[in-house]
Amino acid sequence: MSPFQQKVIEIVRTIPYGKATSYGQIALYCGMPRAAREVGWTLRQSKVDMPWWRVVNNSGRISIDGNMEADKNLQKKLLSAEGIEIGDDFTFDIEKYRWIMPEEEVKKLQLSEEQINKILAKYSQTPLNF
DNA sequence: ATAATGACATGTT
DNA sequence: TAACATGCCATTA
């Protein structure tokens, strides 16, 4: 298992109940802004215990396709159970439920200052919305 | 070694 | 708003 995958797992485990994040967001926290697909790959093949269902794509859609229909429906069910309402098209308002890592946690990630700034600029705890 | 394939993201149309 | 195109990068073939 690569260090990247280990980070993915660590971070996914910190996502609180009832919240959701995107693949790209996790990738960013891991210091690999372009590795969203690898996050998905990790969640799929890693059998360790983690709340994988709290990770969706950036438009708030469950993006499991093809022959993983069972998992797709399971994810919808699990999210619904945590209070996130999901429509028949497997989409929901991610901004309403998006989890933002606290700034002090971001600073513990051992990333370059440049990347930290990038993270805070994109996912700030006090965004425009409220 | 080269090319195709994804639980993705983002900018253009 | 939604479809399309391009960029990404580890894994597979």
Interatomic CA–C1' length for residue A35 and nucleotide C7, angstroms: 11
Q: In this model, does residue A120 exceed pLDDT 50?
A: yes
For A122, phi and psi rounded to 5 degrees?
A: -85, -40
Structure tokens at A99: 């989890």
A22-35 burial: b if 16+ Cβ within 10 Å, else e: bbbbbbbbbbbeeb
User: For the whole prediction, is pTM greater than 0.75?
Assistant: yes
Closest nt by CA–C1' to A26: B8
Enumerate the nucleotides of strand B whose atoms come under 7 Å of any protein CB: 6-10
Mean residue pLDDT across chain A: 91
Question: Could you read off the pLDDT of A44-97 as tens digits, one per residue?
Answer: 998 899 999 999 999 999 988 766 778 899 999 999 999 999 998 999 999 999
Average pLDDT over residues A35-50: 94
Residues 44-103 of A with CB under 7 A from strand B: 44, 52-53, 55, 57-59, 63-66, 68, 71, 75
The answer to whether the CB of A39 falls within 8 A of the CB of A7 is: no
What is the predicted pLDDT for the residue at A71?
A: 87
